[in-house]
Structure formats: C-alpha cells, structure tokens
Amino acid sequence: MVEFGSVKYRKITLSLALGSFLVFCNLYIFQPILPLLAEHFSVSETQVNGVFAASTFALSVFLVPWAICSESLGRRKVMLIGLYSMPIIGVLMLISDSYWLLLMARGLMGVALAAFASVAVAYMVEELDPAAFGRAIGGYIAANSLGGIFGRVLGGTLTDFFSWQYAVAILAILTLIGAMIVSAILPKQENFTPQRGLFFHHNRALIKHIKNRTIWFAMLIGGVNFALFVNLYSVMGFRLVSEPHNLPVGLSSLIFLCYLAGTLSSKLTGKWTQTKQPISGMVTGSIISMIGMWIALIDTVPMMLVGLILISFGAFFTHTLAYSWVSQKALHAKATATALYLVHYYIGGSLGGFFLIYCWQHGGWASVVTGGMSLYLLLFALCFVLFQRTQKQLAAQPA
C-alpha cells in the first residue's frame, strides 16, 4: 500500500485531483449561463435547467455501469476513457444549433464524466493505506470544488465577452491537455485484480449496498445535501441577473468563487474525524449551510455572498464526510459502493433543480427558503436515523 508523503502518493493524488478538476469544469460550465440560454433558446427557467440536469442525470445513471466495467477493465483504463471522451463531446456541443441537440450532447458528456467519477475514489482506497487515504480524499474533493469554480467562472466570463461556444472550445482544449498529463503520471494499479464475467455478482453487490442501511442512509444524505447546495446556486444566478440587481452573466458567475469555502471545509474534515464522529459533522455542516440560506434572504449582494459562503462551507463538509463514510464502511465492491453514493448525489442534484427553480419562479427567494427547509428537515432526519443505526450496531458488538 502507498504511504502518505511518498513519491507515488504525490503522483496519485496530483493526477486524480487534476482529473477531478477537469470533470467538474466540464460538468458545471453551463450553470452560470442558464439565464442567457433560456433567452437564447426561448425556453422557461425550469426548462433550461435541463441543460444542466441532463449531464448530472446521465452521470448518475452511468456511474454504476462504469464501476462494474472497471472491475474487469481496471480503474485506470476506465478513468482515461472518460477523460479523453470529454473533449470529443465538447466538439459535438459546438455544432449543436438547437436546444434539444445541446441537451443530448450534455447527456453524452454526463456519460463520459461518470467514467472518471465512478472509480477514482475506489482507486485511492485500493492503492493508498488508510492514513494516506484519509489525507487524499479531502484533497480530491477540494479539487472537485476548484474545478466547479473554474468551470463556472470560465463559462460565465467567456460567454459574456465572446459566446458560450467559445467557452466550450477553450475548455475542450484544456481538457485534452489535462487528460494527457493524467495518463502520463497516474501509476498503474498494483493492488487490483481484474474480475471478468461477474455482472450478476456486481448486481448482487449493488443490492447488498442498498440493503445495508448503515451506508444507504449516508448515500441519501449525500443526495439531499447536493439537491440543496448546487441548486441554491442556480437559483441565485437567476436572482442576480433579474430585477433589481440586473448583473451581467459574467459578473454573476463570480459568485462561484464562494465555492472556495467548500474547498477549505472539505480539507478540514480530516481533522474533524480525528476527534469527533462523522455523523455529528454531517449535522454541523447541514446547520451551517441552512443558516447561509436564511442569511441570503437579505436582498443585498454582500449578504447573498455571505449566505453562499456558508452554504458552500457546510455542504462540502457534509458531502466529504458522507462520501468517505460510504467508501470506508463498504466491506466489499468498494467501487460499486462509491459509485452508488454518487448516483444518489447527482440524482439529488438533478431533481432538486426543478424543485427549487420552480419555487423561485412562483415566489422568489422566500419560496426557495420554504422549499429548502423541507429538504433540510429531511436531511436532519436521515442523520438521526443513521446515528440510531450505528448506536444499535455498537451496542450489539460483544464487549
């Protein structure tokens, strides 16, 4: 097993962080320009969310199939297939001249993104020793947030100055360069044995993970958390370009710099778990993000930014703890388990957008807060149930 601080550790963490950065750049590039696309294609705010949701939904659907493929093809090969497919699909988006063609291209992008996202954490779990993994997972998720920031700011600013096609072209070039770097430095796996002809075995593993409530409730926590987090940002984008603020898309996309708070909080989870329980951290993160949503009720740009900072900090704290909980508590088929977590995560993001943007259309931010509170109450209930289950398991263990 690879130890923390070794040369191989640095190669693994750097290459996987870069791959993660590229994945999230491509996933989120369209989020800040949804208001502009709604006007360009003459569709409603709820409809244009499909451009964003198509990728997140396709990603969620193909996570498990890619994880199963990786059991026979290998984690590294599957990740590289995804990375090299992304710039090709970017070119397809450049020739999409209608809403529906763009929607289909974004769906294909989600399939490619799933290849990397489904197995990167499993690669780390299998190659790194537990102490090294505990350090690496925070950095990996921090790279997620940095990729999300860069992709959104790139999309918003280049669209403002040039066009969304120009932004997509630039990102496709950067993705190709990044994929080449990852393929050059990512080490081959040494603690992985290919297993062929085990399709039904992996299906059984999938069912076992869902039946294992100790990890399934953590997956649900991840899904509800992401439904809130990513779509509160989408709604804020519509809010800032509307009356009375009327900010240009490029300027409003800078709100995603608030994601840096999530980059920080994801790194802090390692220290939290050294002295405290992960479940209490999930609750703490959820409370912080909920407070941010309420603060954003104050209709001034500075207070909205404070709210978004708290939303980012709390949501990434909860996500990192829930994600690492699943990867460590799963006793078998870890790639399938982490992929299944992400299925819940991105389905939550896809469905949450239609819910919260609908609330925005019919009642503004006050209605979004009302709808958001129903999701936060569900989040706290899931944390409580997960805590109860772990307590019962501890009590059942022999002294």
Average pLDDT of span 314-327: 88
pLDDT band of residue 312 (cuts 50, 70, 90) is very high
C-alpha span between 118 and 36 (Å, rounded)? 31
Confidence check: pLDDT of 93 > 70: yes
Confidence check: pLDDT of 15 > 90: yes
Cα distances (angstroms) measured from residue 153 to each of 7, 33, 62, 96, 120: 33, 10, 27, 22, 25
Report the range of poorest mean pLDDT among 162-166, 289-293, 373-377: 162-166
Tokens read off for 97: 């001249």
HSE-CB of 341 using CA atoms within 13 angstroms: 31
- Taking only the tens place, the pLDDT of each residue in 232-257 is 998 998 899 888 888 888 888 888 88
Average pLDDT of span 319-336: 79
| 47: phi then psi, degrees, rounded to nearest 5 | -65, -45
Confidence check: pLDDT of 351 > 80: yes
Confidence check: pLDDT of 395 > 70: no
**pLDDT: is 190 or 187 the higher one?**
187
Exposure string of 10-20, with b = 16+ CB inside 10 Å and e = fewer, is: eebbbbbbbbb
Pick the CATH number of 7-396 from 2.40.10.120, 1.20.1250.20, 1.20.1110.10, 3.90.1530.10: 1.20.1250.20
Look at residue 397 in the predicted model and tell me its pLDDT: 65
Q: Where are the beta strands (DSSP E) in the chain?
A: none
Look at residue 151 in the predicted model and tell me its pLDDT: 92
- What residues does each domain of the chain span? 7-396
Give 242's DSSP letter: S
Which has the closest alpha carbon to 119: 151, 91, 78? 78
Any idea of the CA torsion for 123, 125, 127, 131, to the nearest 10 degrees?
Answer: 140
Please give the share of the chain, as a percent, with pLDDT higher than 90. Answer: 38
Confidence check: pLDDT of 67 > 60: yes
Please give the single-letter amino acid code of residue 104.
M
278-295 and 213-241 helices cross at what angle (nearest 10)?
Answer: 20
Look at residue 270 in the predicted model and tell me its pLDDT: 76
Confidence check: pLDDT of 399 > 70: no
Which has the closest alpha carbon to 76: 19, 128, 2, 37? 19
10 Å CB burial of residue 351 (0-12, 13-18, 19+) is middle
Look at residue 78 in the predicted model and tell me its pLDDT: 93
Tokens read off for 137: 């997972």
Length of the chain measured in residues: 399
Spatial contact of 228 and 375, defined as CB atoms under 8 Å apart: yes
Which has the closest alpha carbon to 327: 219, 227, 224, 207? 219
Spatial contact of 81 and 115, defined as CB atoms under 8 Å apart: yes
Which has the closest alpha carbon to 154: 258, 33, 262, 53? 33
Look at residue 174 in the predicted model and tell me its pLDDT: 96
C-alpha span between 351 and 227 (Å, rounded)? 7
Confidence check: pLDDT of 88 > 90: yes
- Measured at the CA of 124, the angle between CA 123 and CA 130, to 5 degrees, comes to 140
Those residues with Cβ within 8 angstroms of residue 387's Cβ, 6 or more apart along the chain or in another chain: 279
Q: Which residue has the tokens 């949701």?
A: 53
- Taking only the tens place, the pLDDT of each residue in 138-155 is 788 778 878 988 998 899
